[in-house]
Amino acid sequence: MIKSLLLISLLALSSLSISAQQKDKPKQQVSKQKTISPMFESKLDSASYAFGLSMARDLQKRGLKQLNGKLVAQAIDDLFAGRPSQLNEADEYHAISEVLTAAAENAKKEATAKGDAFLATNKTKSTIHTTASGLQYEIIKDANGAKPLATDSVTVHYKGALLDGKVFDSSYDRGEPISFPLNRVIQGWQEGLQLMPVGSHYRFYIPYQLGYGESGAGADIPPYSVLIFDVELLKIGS
């Protein structure tokens, strides 16, 4: 686990390399474009700055909010120049693990505090229902159709958003509903859709424990995210 943290720069390099290869294939003219900013004297300068950006961006995603940039540069210069390291390998692992662990804990506290505060306030509204698991929902449009079982497949239209209103997925935007087995989706959906009659429209407020948990999902759903889904149940069965 800790060793993998030391490979951040290598992962960033690999990511940049793959991205460059993918861009070069469909467009042969990419290599002809000027890639050096006026502030850089060479492609190496440009690439050096790009490596720094990529590593910093990755560390930010891990919850780190600051680094001593001068010491980062010194470590890189020492290594490339063959000078002795100021840390032995064990201290290197410990330093990285300690800082990233603390950053992750702080990020969790901030994210969960925000989500918990929202859910606590939302729960007090007269239109909100709360289940034993902590799932919150409101009925936008009721219906008298059948309700699905956990073993059923369903067809729905939906829109998913974060607390800040950012929409991360929408079948409405794609112009077609989606079908799936109910036992293959996040727990909040499994529980919530079993409450819905066919033809109804519900809005779910899903705690992170019933959503994508501590890991989040891709670039659009951060860890510990409360999810807000508008869901219309169109059909039961494939």
Q: Catalytic site residues?
A: 158, 168-169, 186, 212, 229
The CA distances from residue 53 to 28, 46, 58, 71, 218, in Å, are 26, 11, 9, 16, 20
Backbone angles phi, psi at 195, to 5 degrees: -90, -15
Contacts of 168 by beta carbon, 8 Å cutoff, 6+ apart? 160, 161, 162, 220, 221
Coil/strand/helix, residue 113: helix
Distance from C-alpha of 163 to C-alpha of 216, rounded to nearest angstrom: 14
- Residue located via tokens 């705690």: 207
CB 163 within 8 A of CB 228: yes
Relative to beta strand 136-141, strand 129-130 is antiparallel
